[in-house]
Structure 1
């Protein structure tokens, strides 16, 4: 089937688009939709009621479904069963997909949930999955691996580290991610402000306490951006360091985030789990901000040690502190150049198009 296509992009059932509740999936969806629109495809987005599309995606149709948000697999036990709340958003979304699939050449799922993966062989319209997390639950591993055994072309991953979590029958397709680089301004800033940055959902698996400990040890302020998903955890982190160490900046749209992030001398990235990609790492580098991170998951594939940042052993706060202290000599323009070469929205959309093109060919 030749392009252009009519594509249905299915968002996460964890929250509304624009709220930040969907984490990196929201940014991925925006980049993917805008990039594919730019390549001439017709896009429809299906998301939670109350969602809104950014200005770059206004040419896409927006369909919505109502229901109770789906619990995220990030916060379930490894042996937890599949859980769908009464009047759940997840089945409401996929009922719409089932009913309206005939209008599309392909469906692209961005949700990390059991139901859409299980439905893959049952839909008439080809269903593709951009897998947004690594291994977090046995039942999710099983359903993703079942799709891979049936037709690995239906799956794409953000990083090699993420894909390695799963037993796959052949090497995976790794598509990375993409960003609208015009939304991230870069200034050389020979003397950036003595600020450290940290961005992400405020939840234990993101490791904010380690970044706070580094900031306290260096006597620098830590600007923190993101949704306070776990207020109790956020309060405990703040109480663990001297008053004034953390400056809570909230969840900001890209325009505001990049303006503040660009002031920082470094971004600290401290995941306690296998991050699938690491959007905030690329966002920082797009602003010319080097990144000091744990060598875990996707960020370990994004940072060029000694050029765009420093990687240290996972969970080693002393090494993280030492790296943050000694990273002043990194060239900020090198960070921006790396992003321009590897993570533009246009390049990402081209990789997604190639993936779907291959998957639409007869097996």
Structure 2
């Protein structure tokens, strides 16, 4: 029997890993931590305090920053948020670098902060970094400065992998997986659904316009991440044909998605992956989405409809086509493309390869190229 691995997961220090999730990254880390623990591995989690105790993960807590009055009033003092982030990740990485080499078998970084990548060469424990976004200035600087040494890299979609090719020419693609037991096949319903973080770049106001053109009621669910945008562009549109259901816990959200006729996905930016797309499809709910970023890698004519980015009229016209689709066929297509089991299996394979041969950072073909089930298609 293969012995259990000791795995450290690094997430955001801003948000706890618990329901209701702040966003897709937090949901992804929650599901991964849960799946790894259920597979018998020992998981330690770095995230904001108050993460879900049911994950049965040890917590990698760090000392909070308490600056002196002199430091606080210095002219070079950046924002408190920046300093808090810097201190949290600096403390964590120094602990991992100075700690006993046998404390962890592998470190899996999901944070968007630059310090885990910048300090990776200090580690004796192999580290995998999953890239959840296209390039950001700080993260790109860290990878450029280290030339990617000290870590191996995976990306959540072919689109995201290609966006990093100027620095990381070969990168593993491991799509975020969705647990079908937690997103069960639903019977559908009459209303459309839009769910996710309520921000301008997610653009639920465009979903409202498309639903009204199609003559169907729309339900919106998710955290109000930009209160000004919500007050200006969403709240005034609420009424009998547009309902805001709130920021729901997982069970309620999965039920709502599974009892919806179709899901509208309206990104105004290039989605690195599109977790809400996968979640809707696993529930059997067909998706009508703007074709941006990684979304076209998940949606095809067996699971929904893609329309040109920003084209509300095309989205409205595609909704009746999506409503005729077999929910079972949509679910089965999602199981092929967005399987949580396949995701965890691929990550475990990568972990084992890194542990067996931690010195190889850029020559292992198994790591550098997607497995067939994770290639963009």
| TM exceeding 0.5 | yes
Check the 8 A contact 2:64/2:84 in 1, yes or no. yes
2:332 pairs with one of 331, 334, 337: 337
2:226 pairs with one of 227, 230, 241: 230
Farther-moved stretch of structure 1 (307-316 vs 249-258): 249-258
- Structure 1 residues 11 and 141: CA distance shift in structure 2, 3 A: same
- Structure 1 residues 343 and 288: CA distance shift in structure 2, 3 A: same
1:158 pairs with one of 156, 169, 176: 156
How far is the alpha carbon of 1:142 from its aligned partner? 3.0
1:1-363 equivalence runs, <5 A: 4-18=4-18, 20=20, 22-53=22-53, 55=54, 57-58=55-56, 60-65=57-62, 67=64, 85=81, 88-100=84-96, 101-102=99-100, 103-135=103-135, 137-146=136-145, 149-150=148-149, 154-166=152-164, 167-187=166-186, 189=187, 192-238=188-234, 241=237, 243-304=239-300, 306-360=301-355, 361=357, 362-363=359-360
CA deviation digits over 1:203-244, x for unaligned, max 9? 111121111111122232211111101111112222564733
Measured in 2, the distance between the counterparts of 1:312 and 1:22 equals 27
Where in structure 2 are there 5+ consecutive unaligned residues?
A: 66-77, 361-377
Measured in 1, the distance between the counterparts of 2:348 and 2:174 equals 10
Normalised by the size of structure 1, how large is the TM-score?
0.86
Check the 8 A contact 1:46/1:93 in 2, yes or no. no
Question: Residue 224 of structure 1: SS of its match in structure 2?
Answer: strand
Check the 8 A contact 1:308/1:334 in 2, yes or no. yes
Q: What count of residue pairs does the alignment treat as equivalent?
A: 340
Check the 8 A contact 2:288/2:315 in 1, yes or no. yes
Where in structure 1 are there 5+ consecutive unaligned residues?
A: 69-81
Measured in 2, the distance between the counterparts of 1:213 and 1:171 equals 41
Measured in 1, the distance between the counterparts of 2:16 and 2:251 equals 19
How far is the alpha carbon of 1:185 from its aligned partner? 2.1
Measured in 2, the distance between the counterparts of 1:275 and 1:24 equals 11
How far is the alpha carbon of 1:256 from its aligned partner? 1.1
- Structure 1 residues 85 and 303: CA distance shift in structure 2, 3 A: same
How far is the alpha carbon of 1:3 from its aligned partner? 5.7
Measured in 1, the distance between the counterparts of 2:235 and 2:347 equals 44
Normalised by the size of structure 2, how large is the TM-score?
0.83
CA deviation digits over 1:191-211, x for unaligned, max 9? x42211111111111121111
Measured in 1, the distance between the counterparts of 2:341 and 2:246 equals 29
Please tell me whether Structure 1 or Structure 2 has the larger radius of gyration of its CA atoms. Answer: 2
- Structure 1 residues 141 and 244: CA distance shift in structure 2, 3 A: farther
Match of 1:74 in 2: none
Query: Could you say what the CA RMSD is over the residues aligned between the two structures, in angstroms?
Result: 2.4
- Structure 1 residues 148 and 352: CA distance shift in structure 2, 3 A: farther
Measured in 1, the distance between the counterparts of 2:225 and 2:334 equals 29
